[in-house]
Structure formats: structure tokens, C-alpha cells
Structure 1
């Protein structure tokens, strides 16, 4: 492994570890004024990002988890009034999951809290540095997601 790759992987690992700590999630939801588990936040933000109701399978694909995992969390979110089931306009027998107004507000509050952390961390960065980081993070996310999706597909087809 070359030195730049080692540094990139190490930096990513440190950032991911820090962001995925239970205490970090607790601080995020506290700052957002909501009490939600990490998967609940991920589902709400995924629906917010999609901008439209989604089927369970699409949410699971987007979060790179299995559908039963999403189904359990959606049921809990539905009981709390944060999401609701709506008929799929493409298939009247199927359902999509939609944010309620309260669910949308919770997702926005979590996004705002996380954005404020990044804003504070990048406060000393110049605009060109921020632009370069955004460009490279987009590229890394796209390439890594495509790579992992390809690996998952090749693994499932080999079974």
C-alpha cells in the first residue's frame, strides 16, 4: 500500500470511527432535539434526500442493509408518526414509505446538527480547500459505493 493510500484509509477510519460512536450519535440527536436510534435517523434522512416516498427495498439498497432490517425500523417510525405508508402509484398492490411532516422536521434537524459540526470543523479552511474537499469526497463516495455494490453483486451471483 502506498503512503497516500495508507494515509487516506487511516484518515477515513478515524473519521468513520468518530462519527459512528454511540456518544456522537447521542450528541447529534440531542442537538437536533430528537430521540432516535442511528438506523432511524439514516432512514429518515434517506427519505428526505430522495424527496419522494420509497419502497422498503430501495431504502435498504440505499443504506446497504437487508430489507427486514429496514422493515423493523420503519414499523417503529410509523408507530411514532414519523413515516407513513402510501400506495405505490406504479403498482397499486405495493406500498411506499413517506415522511410525515414531523418525520421531515426530525430529518432536517439531524441534518442541520451534522452540518453545523462540519461547518465548525472546516471554519479555518479556505473556499478553494472546501471546494476541493467536496469534489474529492463526492468522487470517493461514488467510486467506493460503485465498487462495494459490484462486490456485493458478484458475491450474491456466485452463490
Structure 2
């Protein structure tokens, strides 16, 4: 059974999500990583080495956006490029050991800001938001 959702309701949720993420980023700004860079690192940590096109499909965003993010991450020593063993003409992006500390620091900072925001809600409402997060992940994860 499929739930009927109006475009207006979906748009309201979309705008709320964008505003919510922007609010979290402003609460704990971190000049080390842009949002797309953090998502690239998280994908590489979760799935291992990936090609640029696969990363772009999973974010989702354009390949030029991922290429720019990877170039910045590579300059910072957080990722490296290597030949794809399945196709020597292709390149995979690999996370480096030094990136895990950076990623953890940024993620924990933003998680702290989120925890503070959730603390302003009733326990029941905070639990609803956390459950919504699990449902949103089901909508976005390809696996």
C-alpha cells in the first residue's frame, strides 16, 4: 500500500530539511569540510574505494561537483586516486587514514548541534525525529 502525499506536503518537507541542515552547519561551522566533501568521505568510509561516477550517483550530484570535491580532499590528504583494478583506464577514489579523524570531528560537531536542538523537544517528539531519520535513510540509501 502506498501513502498518498501531496506535492505541497513534499515541498514543505524538502524546504524544512534544507533549512534544518543549513541551521546545523551554521551552528557549528567547520572550515575543513564542505557538505559535499563530508558526504564523499562518508560514502568512501562506508563502501570503500569508488569511481567518481558512482559517488555522484550515490550523493546524488553531478560528476564535476564530485571531481571538485575530490580534488580538494586530495589536496588536503584525505583521499587519494588509484587505478581501478577491474579497469586500468578508470580511477577509484580511496579514503586515507588521516581522513577518519577529520570526518569524525566534523560529524561529532554537527551531531552535538543536533543533540542540542533535539533537547529542546519533548522526549516523544525527539524520538519521532530520530525515527524520521531512519525512514529518510531508507529513502536515500541505494543498498
TM over 0.5: yes
Alpha-carbon spacing, 1:49–1:111, altered in 2? closer, same or farther (3 Å): farther
1:85 aligned counterpart, secondary structure? strand
> In structure 1, what is the Cα distance between the partners aligned to 2:38 and 2:28?
10
**Aligned counterpart in structure 2 of residue 47 of structure 1, from 27, 44, 54:** 44
Q: 1:29 to 1:99 in 2, by over 3 A?
A: farther
Of 67-76 and 38-47, the range deviating more from structure 2? 38-47
Residues 28 and 68 from structure 1, CA distance in 2 versus in 1: closer, same or farther, beyond 3 angstroms? same
Cα distance, 1:77 vs. partner?
Answer: 1.4
Residue 107 of structure 1 is matched in structure 2 by 103
Once the 2 structures are TM-superposed, how far is the Cα of residue 122 of structure 1 from its aligned partner? 2.2
Q: State TM-score, norm by structure 2.
A: 0.71
Counterpart in the other structure of 1:118: 114
CA distance in 2, matches of 1:80, 1:129: 36
**Which residue, out of 10, 30, 45, partners 2:12?**
10
Give the 5 Å matches for 1:2-151.
Answer: 9-10=11-12, 12-20=14-22, 24-25=24-25, 27-30=27-30, 35-50=32-47, 52-123=48-119, 125-126=122-123, 130=127, 132-143=128-139, 145=140
How many residue pairs align between the two structures?
A: 138
Q: More deviation in 103-112 or 6-15? A: 6-15
RMSD across aligned C-alpha pairs, in angstroms?
Answer: 3.4
Q: Distance in 2 between matches of 1:118 and 1:27?
A: 9
Deviation of the 1:81 alpha carbon: 0.8
- TM-score, L = length of structure 1: 0.66
**Displacement after TM superposition at 1:26 (Å):** 5.3
1:88 shift after superposition: 2.5
Partner of 1:153: none
Normalized per residue, the structure richer in helix is: 1
